[in-house]
């Protein structure tokens, strides 16, 4: 049996006494969000991907959307009071957040960025998001997410 590897996300959740469940799907080969949801045996609406953007003001923002949905850039810009936003370039992700593409978590980034979660998360008691490493997800009570990061919930999907 493989020893469970703790990520910074898990350590931060434990420091704040936030219960979570870790899911290791690293041996499944799943990369795409909907494949990850299927491997976890969960609805794709309950498994969230972390997207990092930059606004016209040059401020960065983090958005969590269900893996089966696309971020609506107009709705996202409106949610954070920006004229417009765009996705950051893949090469900027690691230096900015400390995470690689496919393993980006809203918890434990190098800097704290305004974070918005699609309002559909409120339909679930728990949501899943990256544990900060490819192949790992954490399951956290939706109400507890705001205890570790400052979040708002808004309609940001197409």
Kindly report the number of other CB atoms within 10 A of residue 43's CB atom: 15
Please write the tens of the pLDDT for every residue from 66-79. Answer: 999 999 999 999 99
What average pLDDT does the structure give for the chain?
94
Residue ranges per structural domain of the chain: 8-154
- For 1-16, how does the pLDDT look when each residue is reduced to its tens digit (9 = 90+)? 345 678 999 999 999 9
* 36 vs 23: CA distance, rounded Å: 10
Which residues, other chains included, contact 40 with Cβ-Cβ below 8 Å and sequence gap of 6+?
23, 25, 47, 128, 137
Distance CA 133, CA 7 (A): 7
Which residues touch 146 (CB under 8 Å, ≥6 apart)?
none
pTM comes to 0.94
Total residue count of the chain as it appears in this document = 158
Please give the CATH architecture assigned to the domain spanning 8-154: Alpha-Beta Complex (3.90)
């Amino acid at each position: 049996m493989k020893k469970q590897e703790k990520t910074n996300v898990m350590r931060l959740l434990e420091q704040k006494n936030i219960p979570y469940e870790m899911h290791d799907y690293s041996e499944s080969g799943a990369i795409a969000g909907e494949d990850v949801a299927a491997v976890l045996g969960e609805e794709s609406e309950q498994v969230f991907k972390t997207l990092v953007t930059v606004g016209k003001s040059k401020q960065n923002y983090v958005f969590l959307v269900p893996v089966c949905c696309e971020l609506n850039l107009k709705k996202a810009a409106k949610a954070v009071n920006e004229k417009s936003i765009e996705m950051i370039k893949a090469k900027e992700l690691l230096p900015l957040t400390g995470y690689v593409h496919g393993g980006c978590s809203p918890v434990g980034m190098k800097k704290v960025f305004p974070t918005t979660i699609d309002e559909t998360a409120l339909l679930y008691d728990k949501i899943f998001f990256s544990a900060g490493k490819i192949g790992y997800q954490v399951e956290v009570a939706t109400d507890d997410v705001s205890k570790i990061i400052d979040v708002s919930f808004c309609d940001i999907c197409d």
